Structure 1
């Protein structure tokens, strides 16, 4: 049994993580260390984070749909490919050079942060669509889903940037579009981790309830402020993820 006071602290962390995750992703930067400090071993912390990690993007997806920024019913085919890609990625952990990929990931995240920070015209206005929705759903979505199951950090940001660069969405709409896909790939990872690990289910579900609430608040704030809020927070969280991964090397 986990001490109720510890669960209360974890729920507070998840509330803040849900708020941040709904706007820019990266909520796991708060929840995973929180679980480790609460006494979870690294595998249990990651598995438990997958439990609570479904609730934040689901909450944000609902809030953005209510604001008219995304049609969730039209996203189910993409969500299924994200789910399948995530299961495949999680099952490939022992087959692929994960540590090699992990070393290159901070460089990629820093590159994304610099791109978002300095790319002119990266705002809420729609832009040129470069590929069809069918091709987008058949290529980028399962690739990011596979990555989410294999490693995970930054997956929501990768979905979002895909919608900006390839699907022609502005930052706010791209953020909204990414959330259901993030739910699906988190669910695929959870399905696998539930078999190979032992999540703290009670703590994870309690954190999920708090994250759901935080994401509702975050999505509503982002819907009002758009790229003015999303862009700086996305750069901050992406750089934070890169720094965290580099710290793990030491």
Structure 2
């Protein structure tokens, strides 16, 4: 049940934010770094922020994942250990999130968002060509999937970008295929975590569905843009938006601002 005031104007603004987040997330990851701070700033309770964000993110990650699979940029048979480990980790993380206090989340989430924003500001994503014969080591997938699955279920922001970067470092894949892995694993962890948040009644349904539809459109356009071109123009905009919203959250939750 929605436990906060949701005006038509606020719904329109958050839907526009979700569209932007979906577009960016499907290309470079990190859409949650935009939607989570926006939901917190709008006054949504912290636990419901996580559940509502999972609902909307599931829409976007589903459509983006489908786009990459359709273009044969992701093969489930090569990545099944990661799919399973991610699902397990996301369930564990979402359960842990339920037992964290709202006051802790109000202070913890801005720190995570800020840290991720700083990381992306100074990080360089390697771009390498994919060899003709790829060997994906399955032993590496279990710790990767469990770790990022727990993080996505517990907090979430930045998971897609973490997937891309860790996949590029750990496996002989190129940027597009790493993005395909990230989007598909995001879909799995979002879906599993969403089930847990629903069971605890921590989803604002009307807001989540509206943001989800907007995020889905943004993800579709972004995924196709990524497949055709890349994300060089997206990252600077992404960093600026994240930092601006993070400063607002720190001012409100840490410094006592209005």
User: Is TM > 0.5 for Structure 1 vs Structure 2?
Assistant: yes
Q: 1:31 to 1:101 in 2, by over 3 A?
A: closer
Give 1 or 2: higher helix fraction: 1
**Which of 221, 224, 227 is the equivalent residue of 1:220?**
224
* 1:131, distance to aligned residue in structure 2 (A): 8.4
**Alpha-carbon spacing, 1:113–1:131, altered in 2? closer, same or farther (3 Å):** farther
Aligned residues: 241
Give unmatched runs, 5+ long, in structure 1.
Answer: none
Any conservation in 1 of the 2:57–2:212 contact (CA below 8 Å)?
yes
Q: 1:70 aligns with which of 71, 74, 79?
A: 74
Distance 1:213 1:23 in 2: 13
Q: CA deviation at 1:232?
A: 5.6
| CA RMSD across the alignment | 3.4
Native 8 Å contact 1:164 1:170 kept in 2: yes
Q: Counterpart in 2 of 1:116?
A: 124
Unaligned runs of 5+ in 2: none
Rounded Cα–Cα distance in structure 2 between residues aligned with 1:68 and 1:244: 36
Corresponding residue of 1:40 = 44
1:158 matched to 2:173: no
1:61 aligns with 2:57: no
1:144 aligned to which of 131, 148, 160: 148
Does the 8 Å contact 2:79/2:138 carry over to 1? Answer: no
Corresponding position of 2:90: 86
The answer to whether the 8 A contact 1:25-1:237 is kept is no
Tell me the residue number matched to 1:206: 210
State how far apart, in whole Å, the 2-side matches of 1:74 and 1:235 are. Answer: 33
User: What TM-score comes out, normalization by structure 1 length?
Assistant: 0.79
CA contact (8 A) 1:154 1:241 kept: no
